[in-house]
């Protein structure tokens, strides 16, 4: 289920592009502090036994999901009380309300809860700021490694570790390509890779939004996600990859948009080198008609 926690009042003041970029940069810095505070709550839960409960769709939820959600919502609403929040953990407002919003936060307080429960460390915190239906700020935090990925529209993509900030870039496509896919849905995605002539690919399995990060920093070339997912699963990763030089499209080859009537995505394909991948995928009928 989705959630929206915020007042219905919405910002209405128009801003010039340069002003917007500077404001988004400042908002990214505020979001970083919220994400790092949520990280500590998650790591604290990891140090002790915790229960695993299940939502109506049978997806797991833990005290770490709840604690991270509480911190993120509290801090983001404190700093930006009039920007609505859509989150994984509660219920979204009707579209008749949401379609008036020019700006909102999309958050997944713990992406990869299954991996968190398994103890393999492949889980993230995802926060994206959406403006006019497109991501303009992205934060993906990897608590286990204490590594954070950040992007702001027009400002590039960065990896932050031990107070060191490093610009990251996706890489030009090489052969054999490096594909990365979900641990949970790998059969259909392996079949798809084979169907578009990528049988000789090098394949890695990984949980959560870390797959976006691998493409963005040039460690993988393509990440197909063919199963339905939610907007908070893709928003931060999309901006991170695009600011690193890649592209994320839906299964028809079109850009993803956000705060839709239905908050589901049918699927997406993320690539690091669209100049090469775009013609290749079109030539191999990779997109749904």
72 and 30 fall within a common domain: yes
Domain count, the chain: 2
In this predicted structure, the answer to whether residue 112 has a pLDDT above a threshold of 90 is yes
Domain end (from 140, 167, 194): 167
In a domain, 186, yes or no: yes
Query: What's the pLDDT score for residue 16?
Result: 66
Does residue 145 or residue 54 have the better pLDDT? 145
Q: Write out the residue range of the structural domain in which residue 259 sits.
A: 178-283
Instruction: Evaluate whether residue 52 is within a structural domain.
Output: yes
Q: Which of 141, 167, 193 is the endpoint of a domain?
A: 167
Burial (CB < 10 A; 0-12, 13-18, 19+), residue 27, is buried
One domain for residues 65 and 145: yes
Question: In this structure, is residue 39 part of a structural domain?
Answer: yes
pLDDT value, residue 281? 93
Query: How far is it, in rounded angstroms, from Cα 133 to Cα 136?
Result: 9
Q: Where is the domain boundary, 124, 139, 167? A: 167
Above 60 in pLDDT, residue 14? no
- Given a cut of 80, whether residue 2 has pLDDT beyond it is no
> In this structure, what CATH number is given to the domain that contains residue 60?
3.30.540.10
Residues 35 and 131 reside in one and the same domain:
yes
Residue 137 lies in a domain: yes
Summarised one tens digit per residue, pLDDT across range 156-215 is: 999 999 989 999 999 998 777 999 999 877 888 999 999 998 877 799 999 999 999 999
**17 shares its domain with 106:** yes
250 and 197 together in one domain: yes
């Amino acid at each position: 289920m989705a959630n929206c926690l915020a007042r219905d009042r919405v910002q209405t003041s128009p801003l010039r592009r340069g002003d917007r970029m500077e404001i988004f940069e400042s908002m990214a810095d505020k979001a970083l502090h919220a994400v790092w505070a949520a990280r500590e709550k998650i790591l604290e839960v990891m140090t002790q036994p915790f229960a695993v409960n299940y939502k109506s769709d049978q997806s797991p939820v833990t005290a770490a999901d709840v604690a991270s959600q509480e911190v993120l919502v509290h801090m983001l609403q404190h700093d930006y009380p009039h920007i609505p929040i859509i989150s994984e953990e509660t219920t979204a407002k009707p579209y008749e309300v949401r379609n008036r919003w020019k700006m909102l936060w999309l958050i997944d307080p713990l992406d990869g809860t299954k991996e968190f429960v398994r103890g393999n460390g492949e889980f993230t915190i995802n926060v994206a700021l959406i403006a006019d239906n497109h991501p303009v700020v992205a934060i993906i935090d990897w608590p286990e490694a204490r590594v954070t990925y950040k992007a702001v529209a027009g400002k590039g993509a960065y990896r932050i570790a031990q107070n060191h900030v490093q610009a990251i870039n996706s890489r030009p496509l090489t052969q054999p390509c490096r594909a990365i896919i979900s641990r949970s849905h790998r059969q259909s995605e392996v079949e798809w890779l084979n169907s578009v002539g990528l049988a000789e690919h090098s394949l890695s399995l990984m949980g959560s939004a870390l797959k976006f990060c691998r493409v963005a920093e040039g460690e993988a070339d393509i990440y197909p996600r063919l199963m339905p997912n939610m907007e908070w699963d893709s928003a931060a990763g999309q901006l991170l990859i695009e600011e690193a030089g890649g592209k994320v499209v839906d299964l028809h080859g079109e850009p993803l948009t956000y705060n839709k009537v239905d908050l589901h995505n049918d699927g997406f394909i993320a690539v690091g080198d669209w100049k090469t991948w775009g013609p290749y995928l079109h030539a191999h009928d990779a997109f749904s008609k």
